[in-house]
Homo-oligomer: A and B are copies of this chain.
């Protein structure tokens, strides 16, 4: 095999220590080593080959995923991998499958909502995977809308049973991953009815979960249970490796002790009790946890798309539109390409760092909750909800942009981008619809603003303390260079968010019915929330730069990324900055001009910055994003590897083309 590196010249251009940057991206030398080890374990194991995946029909695809999950489980056992190692192993296998839900939702639900006794019973079985569980919350008619859940659990005191029932079609459990075919157990959310009385209509933490078997020994469903897969989803392989399921109950009886009883209980006599020593806010802690994990993962997803598009752009040549006299440029040397690609590269780093901060935030919140300190919970909840929304939306848009940046070839499945897009889109909807989440953030921001003076804003909202300054002091930028100062950038984003929030709060005050105001102004409220969340990302990036970052040129390269991210947003949202009067048109233009200068400073580092993600070719699974840049021969070969090219005469040719050519169609 010929060893080539078509990107060697690009790599030589790097002005920083790539190995040191790998550590920054990974988070620590230990994490780099861990990820690298797991990524290569997967890449070198034949069971995890994935190139043929998009060509399989659903049943084969699913069987293939079960096979991979089994090999993964075997590796975990054989190598004695820790839970952390196993998580990364699954991550690099890069196929959504039932263990994601078993480990990510089912076990945490038991841990969080089960009584001590229940945990003792269920957790060892779950951790050994002697049972496999899923998390059945959403219903056909009710997605983000937990208050609307219709499934009922009626207590039958006589037999000491709950009767689980789906009273309507729309109460069918719909979408839970792992439910369709694999899970033996489910945690099911239902409305509790005791003595004819509903419990739990005022908030979703009042819903009750029940863990129980779905199947008989031969894996046929228990009597009264209808279970199945919701059907084919977007993309060739994509999320179709997951058995997102549907579930209906026809008066299914389960023993009382299968209600998860840590937060509330029903006694043998049918007495409903809330356990006062357990804060219900714990539930929000779980949401914070799940969403911070999404943010952490999504930065990697974006980095993957950006890596592919950057490498392709550094290989693909294109003439300028005027004449052949001008030499053939690399795509990456065109400003029109840079202005679309580099902000995405900067976003990947920005999301990584904000994800690290969220991880810290979650740890902090958890400790506080355990000490019965709920003071930071609303702020933490708003930050994670908003950042989940902001980063997943930007990532999905970014993958699509990367696909387009690779021209026609981005559209080939072999580029890796179509599958990456299709598997990522649902992140905008699951664990909270992104628009609904932003409206929650907006509520929090507006509330914080309206409480100024008698309640101290905390954490990410503490800029609201300086409301007066932010409303009245306009931007001081006079030159382009003035824009590349951390404090000034952060202040600009603070002023924009604060001014938009205040304007919206004033508009809301004009409505007699606050809820009507919220509804009518919801589009504006979403914009307020976006401004608030972008401020968080920018300020966490600037804070990161204030840390000690070792490695030649590493901090300098990160600074360029930080300002690219921030000034790209200033330009994109210049309407916000101008309409609030914070910026003058002149200052906005200076930001845009400075952005161009930053692109040219980023340019030589582009390939090294995507190399620093340390993605294996297996993980990328992209012909156009290969590390060695040897694109064209492999693109050509990939075409001929497609089974469709086994024959020149396609199936159906003699039946359906010949008669057309020979004018004998009448016989069809």
Contact = CB atoms under 8 A, between A and B. Distances in A.
Contacts of A639: 228-231, 246
Given A132-B657, A340-B435, A520-B335, A650 B592 contact: no
Interface stretch (A85-93, A256-264, A581-589, A611-619): A581-589
A531 to B, nearest CB: 14
B596 A585 contact: no
Given A326-B515, A407-B433, A418 B336 contact: no
Interface residues of A, number: 156
Contacts of A425: 400, 403-404, 411
A488 interface: no
Interface string A336-380: 101110000000000000000000000000000000000000000
Interface string A631-661: 0110110111111110011111101110111
Interface in A286-343: 316-324, 326, 328, 334-336, 338-340
Contacts of A62: 644, 650-652
Nearest to A129: B660
A350 to B, nearest CB: 20
A286 to B, nearest CB: 18
Given A400-B400, A413-B232, A425-B403, A318 B246 contact: no
Contact of A665 (B66, B74, B320): B74
Given A144-B318, A336-B439, A138 B184 contact: no
A575 interface: yes
B429 A408 contact: yes
Contact of A578 (B180, B575, B668): B575
A398 interface: no
B132 A660 contact: yes
A362 to B, nearest CB: 23
A448 interface: no
Nearest to A56: B57
Interface in A28-60: 54-60
A232 B54 contact: yes
Given A129-B660, A644-B231, A60 B201 contact: no
A580 interface: yes
Contacts of A130: 661, 663
Interface string A401-416: 0011001100111100
B235 A235 contact: yes
Given A129-B660, A140-B635, A404-B425, 9 more contacts: A63-B652, A66-B652, A130-B663, A145-B319, A180-B644, A182-B650, A336-B522, A339-B523, A573-B575
29 contacts: A59-B643, A66-B656, A70-B665, A70-B668, A74-B665, A129-B661, A132-B660, A140-B632, A141-B317, A144-B407, A147-B323, A169-B636, A182-B650, A218-B649, A219-B648, A229-B642, A231-B639, A231-B644, A233-B413, A234-B236, A234-B403, A236-B236, A246-B639, A335-B519, A335-B521, A338-B523, A404-B434, A524-B592, A580-B585
The 3 A-B residue pairs whose C-beta atoms are closest, nearest first, are: A63-B652, A574-B575, A575-B575
